[in-house]
Amino acid sequence: MNFKINKKDDIVLKILHYFITEEDYKPVIINGLDNEIWLENMENDLKLIRINNNYIHNDEQLKNDMFKAKSIMRSIKKSTLSFNMNMLNLLLDTGDAVSMIDTKNVETIKVNKLADFKKNKVVSEFFPKVKTAQLSEKTDPIEFFKLTEDMNEKTIKNEKKLAKIFSQKKPTITYLLIVINIMVYLFMALYDRTGELAFMFANNYLFVKSGEFYRLFTSMFMHADIIHLAFNMYALYIIGPQVERYYGKLRFSLIYFVSGLLGALFSCVFMSANSYSIGASGAIFGLLGSIAYFTYYYRATLQGFLHSQIVPVILANLCLGLFIPNIDMSGHIGGLIGGILMSMAIGIGDKGRRKDEINGIIVLVLMFIFMTYMVIIK
């Protein structure tokens, strides 16, 4: 049986193979499009790749095509909360008289043969590996099937990574923290009727400044009343398992305690000297910050989750603090910042970049040094 391969299909397959296997791009499913393939990689400067196999015969048709492409790009940008988005637009079937249009954030290239793609200055600038990529002009049925198999293997490998990250895991540390908080509250309710222990372990600027830094930690496990405890433990029960699943037990613990400590330092700096602060809410806001950071980097997988659920929850809780008396807003904000910075420092899944981790560590350490200095000189 003879198997004939269309030249354009061969070019499309080889370009697809390069971007999927060498540059970690993933297909984007967009309904209602014919003869177009969209790829995305939110970690690359060119976040979107569009391969258009439709025939464009004049400049007017090109303008209409560009308008459509930019509309789709804006929609993807909005859904992924990307501050900036650039696209490589590859046109595989254009008339000789069609002139390329210079458009902001869109690099458009005519590709009549693989050499047009491989030797293009824009492609070489953004994708240095293309210089050594095996992109032969030869159309070989055996190679055609091998390239397809390679892409399937890459896709399966990526799916396994995602399945491992998003798989259900028993939130042992979350439940342990809930138990400890409840036990501390019951002990205080039964054996500290005079409030002496609460006075000894609550967070307070004057005592912390005098050297009682343990209060920054112990205050995280104390609650004013049963309602305060119930609210925080319910929030921990809802948020904690997600963070523990995404980051793992050790990283979850680091996020929780570092966020709580930074939140306590913020309380010392911004609350009045005679105020006392207790509760796990700083650490819990840190967990919210860590989920926001995680969903931002996996926004292509969790489309809409960040701006439809995570951000509104954070804003709603911060707004509540403005209207409910005796809420430690400074502790909440400090915990939120701590959660984001700690998540940045420890990295996330297969998205972690060494540069981001180093920056996260530096900023987090500087933040602790600065806030400690502010406590001392206040």
Q: Are 5 and 139 in contact (CB under 8 A)?
A: yes
In terms of phi and psi (left: phi > 0; alpha: psi -120 to 50; beta: otherwise), the region of 349 is left
Q: Are 264 and 284 in contact (CB under 8 A)?
A: no
The catalytic position among 223, 267, 332, 343 is 332
332 counts as catalytic = yes
Q: Report how far Cα 11 is from the mean position of its chain's Cα atoms.
A: 33
79 counts as catalytic = no
Q: Are 120 and 80 in contact (CB under 8 A)?
A: no
* Residue 341: other Cβ atoms inside 10 A: 28
Q: Are 147 and 17 in contact (CB under 8 A)?
A: yes
The catalytic position among 219, 277, 281, 343 is 281
What amino acid positions are annotated as catalytic residues? 281, 332
